[in-house]
Structure 1
Amino acid sequence: MDLNAVRTFVAAADAGQFQVAAAELAVTQQAVSKRIAALERDLGVRLFTRTPRGAELTIDGQAFLPHARELLRVGQRAVESVHAGRRPLRVDVIASRSAQSALMRGFHRAHPEIDLDVVMLFDIDRAVAAIRSGAIDASFRAVATPGHPLPEDITSVRVLDESLQLLTGPAHALAGARSVTIAQLAGHRIWMPGLVPGTEWAAYYDDLVAEFGLTIEATGPNFGSDALLDTVADTPALATFMGADSRLVWPAGHGLRRIPVTDPTPVYPHSLLWHRDNPHPALATLRAHLAATAAGHDAAGTWAPGWANPH
């Protein structure tokens, strides 16, 4: 159905005269007559009766009018849904309990007037494809991971270096330490079943192992964070790494310990990615917020992979 014809019908119904409707729509009276005639042919009914005073709605016209108004409202909402600034800002945070999610919660608290859609995409290739297609506006990722160079139309800025912590159960040999050096971790079994080959986090931990001679095991199925915490709590020989800004909750009886790692402190480099031609005004607001509130990077006493993009 031609929405211009529907819009013309509503204007003529409100005005009561084709001439007045034509003036309001900035078209000729002949154009109004043609549009309404075409609409009547589509519907198979007469919508107006000509009278000395102008044009009056027929019974069918009266029945169609409220639906015509709704059609125009739906059409307007459809247009607004794809106009930058009139739809929610869509951002990929990878996981709900991650540092990226915490950054977006901070942004929402600072800018509650901005509508947000938060999505969670698993790998960087899907995230970049979604940015390029316009399915999302931005994504938090570690870049530039080896084997995953960013396309020229994708821009990134490093927004947060998240310190790693060692997570142990109460019976682990390091459980009582207030902090541990990374050299002290050599020889200890660090279990991380979520390290999927080809992901950016797997690349990060591969470099960490190579740099400091650590032992990281990714064996066994990944049943999620709850199962990981259960196993670490019950197994004195196992520990795992966790980002300092990750928000995980475990039962009090687990007695888990979060222990800072030092000399140097490994940090996970989070960057924000977006398409350089994305016009959404809230994207600029998000970038400004992160620039003003997120911690810096490459601080003294920290380590990140050589491929981590400092820009």
Structure 2
Amino acid sequence: MSISLRQIRYFVSTAEQGQISQAAVDLAISQSAITTAIKELERVIGADLFVRSPHGMELTAAGRQFLFHAYDILNKVQEATSLNVPANDLEGSLTVAATYTVIGYFLPNHLEKLKRNFPKLDIQLFELNREAIEEGLLSNRYDIAVLLTSNVLNPDLSTETLLGSRRRLWVASKHHLLQKESVGLKEISQEPYIMLTVDEAAHTSLKYWSKTPYQPSVTLRTSSVEAVRSMVANGQGVAILSDMVLRPWSLEGKRIETLVPSDPIPAMDVGLAWRRNAQFTSAMEAFRSYFRQTFYIPNSR
């Protein structure tokens, strides 16, 4: 019996959601369809992929290994079917500035595709904070930037948002908040909070906290996403972070669960920025066109 992409997608959603019921909602299908698909997978592989418990679905050692391959398969399928800018003989260089989060969790896959589409284009990448990027764009040190557009306020820059990454509450597996029907900032404020500081994350979070009577009970401030992941997974605190940096497992192999807070939490917007009224070179236009096609952004200035 062969394995289908449908089964792999159902498996990945269940692994990420931790519950068949949540995976069914995420995929808009029945729970029985997911259960059947997972049983078929386990029969083909010859090993249990999950340990079923009252708290949900926990991956076995075989399940964690299969999840790694499943992500790789789905990424390859997406790459093969994605709309790409046709390869051409565009030559030249392009200086691109990007922030830490963007370089770590967004850009690498796109840079590989750009290199394949434009093999003669030399893309020079620089990691900087937002303030340095803005100054560099205005002084023409960088042609274009990829950053969190929700943080850009300089009126001399133009921005174009490509995607909005939803922010959710991260908690440890079996955390008591998972038992509540509704969790808002009031309930979150009563938990030890791990505050990420990189890319102005702390400043951004305080903007939505300040609209409420509550404040996070911060026990650690860190610039490391992996530190947040490990602290949360080990039950030492909670955090609100975007889906773009979400991985459901810590480095120690412990699971992270997520909740959607009942209070409004703004998404993390990722996109492009350039100097307002800048004269676009062919390289800049190709770079922007690639992202517009990839994220289905209308081709307008």
Q: Give the conservation status (yes or no) of the 8 Å contact 1:95–1:101.
A: no
Give 3-state SS (helix, strand or coil) of 1:254's partner: coil
Number of aligned residue pairs: give it.
206
Deviation sequence 1:40-86 (CA, Å, 0-9, x none): xxxxxxxxxxxxxxxxxxxxxxxxxxxxxxxxxxxxxxxxxxxx951
1:133 aligns with 2:139: yes
Q: CA deviation at 1:115?
A: 3.4
Aligned positions of 1:65-144 closer than 5 A: 85-95=91-101, 98-101=104-107, 104-105=110-111, 108=114, 111-113=117-119, 114-122=121-129, 124-143=130-149
Deviation sequence 1:6-62 (CA, Å, 0-9, x none): xxxxxxxxxxxxxxxxxxxxxxxxxxxxxxxxxxxxxxxxxxxxxxxxxxxxxxxxx
1:290 aligns with 2:291: yes
Counterpart residue type for residue 239 of structure 1 = V
Residue in 2 aligned with 1:224? Answer: 224
Q: Which one has the largest radius of gyration?
A: 1
Matches of 1:117 and 1:167, distance apart in 2: 35
Q: CA RMSD in A?
A: 3.7
Residue in 2 aligned with 1:245? Answer: 244
Q: Give the conservation status (yes or no) of the 8 Å contact 1:190–1:241.
A: no
Q: 1:132 to 1:242 in 2, by over 3 A?
A: same
Matches of 2:191 and 2:243, distance apart in 1: 20
Q: CA deviation at 1:159?
A: 2.1
With structure 1 as the length reference, what TM-score do the two structures score?
0.53
Residue in 2 aligned with 1:169? Answer: 172
Matches of 1:284 and 1:290, distance apart in 2: 10
Q: Give the conservation status (yes or no) of the 8 Å contact 2:192–2:219.
A: no
Aligned positions of 1:139-288 closer than 5 A: 139-143=145-149, 145=151, 149-152=153-156, 154-175=157-178, 182=184, 185-189=187-191, 191-195=193-197, 200-220=200-220, 222=222, 224-235=224-235, 238-246=237-245, 248=247, 250-251=250-251, 253-261=253-261, 264=264, 266-275=266-275, 276-288=277-289
With structure 2 as the length reference, what TM-score do the two structures score?
0.54
Matches of 2:192 and 2:126, distance apart in 1: 30
Q: 1:287 to 1:262 in 2, by over 3 A?
A: farther
Where does the alignment leave 5 or more consecutive residues of structure 1 unmatched?
Answer: 1-83, 297-310
Q: Give the conservation status (yes or no) of the 8 Å contact 1:195–1:218.
A: no
Matches of 1:286 and 1:89, distance apart in 2: 11
Matches of 2:171 and 2:209, distance apart in 1: 19
Give 3-state SS (helix, strand or coil) of 1:115's partner: strand
Percent same amino acid at aligned positions? 12
Give 3-state SS (helix, strand or coil) of 1:266's partner: coil
